[in-house]
Amino acid sequence: MRNSQDWGGWLLIAAAALAFLAALYDFFLAWGISYSIGSGIVVFSTAVMTIAALVIVLARPARWVRIVLGIGLVLDFLGTALAAYFLDSYLLTILALVAGLGWLIFVLSSNGRAEQPA
């Protein structure tokens, strides 16, 4: 793996995991949105984001799986950021956008190709 791809992948995983933790905090402890349907949906979407990030970065699945998960991740970043904004959870909004940035770095640095042996 190349260095920029490592960096983007780990940024994606870290931001998605931190977004999941922030969503859990919002669901259980945040005043005004705790135990609401919206914050429950955001907890689910950040859990899916974290699992998809782990699969795409660490497991190196087949190309069609990477494409499907990549499209799902983009929709997840945008939907989670928008929902978190509407829930007034600005930390979660920022983390979802940082995860999207990590995904973009990961995808652009890998250039969509499998690694070639030297």
7-43 pLDDT per residue, tens = 999 999 999 999 999 999 999 999 989 999 999 999 9
Residue 88 in any domain: the answer is yes
Residue 103 in any domain: the answer is yes
Residue 116 in any domain: the answer is no
Residue 93 in any domain: the answer is yes
- Alpha carbons 43 and 37: distance in angstroms, whole number: 10
The type of residue at 111 is N
Structural domain including 93 reads 3-110
Residue 115 in any domain: the answer is no
Residue 106 in any domain: the answer is yes
The total number of structural domains that make up the chain: 1
101-112 pLDDT per residue, tens = 999 999 998 754
69-91 pLDDT per residue, tens = 999 999 999 999 999 999 999 99
Residue 67 in any domain: the answer is yes
User: Nearest to residue 58, comparing CAs of 106, 118, 19, 18?
Assistant: 106
Contact partners, residue 55, CB within 8 Å, separation at least 6 = 61, 65, 69
The type of residue at 65 is V
Residue 19 in any domain: the answer is yes
